[in-house]
Amino acid sequence: MARRISEEDLKAIVDAVPQADGATAHQIARTLGTDIALRTLQYRLKKLVAEGRLVKEGKGPSAKYRIPAEGGAQQVIGGEARIEAQGNLFVPVSKQGAQIQKYVRKPFQARKPVGYDRAFLDTYRPNTTAYLSAKERGYLRGIGTPQMAEQPAGTYAKQILHRLLIDLSWNSSRLEGNTYSLLDTKRLIAFGEEAQGKDQIEAQMILNHKDAIEFLVSEADEIGFNRYTILNLHGMLANNLLPDPDAPGSLRHIAVGIDGSTFHPLEVPQAIEECFNQILAIAAAIKDPFEQAFFVMVQLPYLQPFDDVNKRVSRLAANIPLIKRNLCPLSFADVPPQFYTEAILGVYELNKVDLLKDIFIWGYERSASRYAAIRQSLGEPDPFRLRHRTALRALIGEVVRGHMDKKEAAAHIATWTAKNIGAAERDPFREIAEAELLSLHEGNFARYQIKPSAFKTWQQVWSTPDTSNSSIKTDK
């Protein structure tokens, strides 16, 4: 459950920051003159930065915190959109989005306390009501549809899976304050190497994302806006992160608060259950995949159906219709954490979606551009491999989980192929299966739904010198 920090404690930190030159975390701690732990202070500083009450410059111990200039971030206002600087990125913000920012950037005590308004959900009518206009949906479809023949659900995501695992795991975790770098994330996902000096909770968060993304992609035919998918998605994302071991994959039965927000979520378990089922039913009925994606990004966090990890669930759930329809996935690349937090606060406290929509469209543009370039570098998929992808996954999984050496694998592949593959395709299938086994390494075995422990054990057996005349030969 999210921890609540008193406004008095936060104001004391802001007051300890010099107006002109700013200060490091250590300098602020000395000014406060209390016994506050540096880790606690850093957590509160991060919260103040996310709320726009402080600005962070630099990284590491030398990073300085400053009071924002009057009026907040630099702005250029003109036409229908405001362009607001965040680092070296310029995020287009609509006039309506700018109004939301202006409100949620007010001090906590200056914003109106609000509770869950069920009318916000009840008044939505699938395929009649729409958060995204027809023009916006058409634009997103235009930039997000890859140039490829009609393929089974999940084909596009499978083609870019290795990159998607890293991008979406890192960006979604980054939006939760995770401090792993992109390179740290690559090493963790590819080789299981945790970054030095980082909390284990951060590694767990990223690895949970990896598991959840693999689940969505590998089960593209089965997933949807149903209890099975969303509850299991939460179970994976919340694994080993919540105090209550029964909470992952279960709807909330306790009251929760939202740090930095005047919003008080629904408390009655029966009402939470009803609204959760209603959200799923509406999402499943929406025909447009982009409207589906955005609807769950709005309504799931607003309901707060789980003890924690609600926003992470909504971000990955937004990819369900995109994965199923072979559209470019949404990895939240470059989305500024402060903007995302402000957009979610706009939903919580105002029931307004305009700022979140600004971020959704801008973020999707960047994701679509990124994956179009990646897929172009990959070339067209092999139709034979595509047609036999399920059989290859089953066979290779059996070899690895069975800890087979090269001789045993060759015999098993021959027997399995004879039983399961038509005579005309047995030879090329066997060759591909053997080639896939030879190319397996720490960075690509996840696509076969193999656990790291099973892969490690198999790899030890597989790398043992083979003096037999097996048909599988290693490269010299």
**DSSP string for 111-175:** S--EE--THHHHT--TTTS-SS-HHHHHHHHHHH--S-----TTHHHHHTHHHHHHHHHHHHHHT
Q: Which residues sit opposite 115 in a β-bridge? A: 264
* Helix, strand or coil, per DSSP, at residue 265: coil
Is 57 strand, coil or helix? strand
Burial of 279 (0-12, 13-18, 19+ CB in 10 A): buried
Give dist(CA 399, CA 402) in Å, integer: 5
Specify the pLDDT at position 466: 52
Give dist(CA 203, CA 472) in Å, integer: 36
Neighbours of 227 (CB within 10 A): 12
Residue 104's region, left for phi above 0, alpha for psi from -120 to 50, else beta, is alpha
pLDDT in tens for each of the 476 residues of the chain? 445 677 778 888 888 887 666 788 888 888 887 678 888 888 888 888 877 788 887 777 778 888 875 433 333 323 345 556 555 456 789 999 999 999 999 999 999 999 999 999 999 999 999 999 999 999 999 999 988 878 899 999 998 998 999 999 999 999 999 999 988 999 999 889 999 999 999 999 999 999 999 999 999 999 999 999 999 999 999 999 999 999 999 999 999 999 899 999 999 999 999 999 999 999 999 999 999 999 999 999 999 999 999 999 999 999 999 999 999 999 998 899 999 999 999 999 999 999 999 999 999 999 998 887 776 555 555 667 778 888 888 999 999 999 998 888 888 998 999 999 988 888 878 878 887 888 788 778 887 888 888 888 998 888 876 544 444 544 43
Q: Which residues contact 450 (CB under 8 A, 6 or more apart)?
A: 396, 397, 400, 401
Cα distance from N-terminal residue to C-terminal residue, the chain: 54
The residues facing 66 across adjacent strands are 55
In this prediction, residue 252 carries a pLDDT of 97
pLDDT at 470: 46
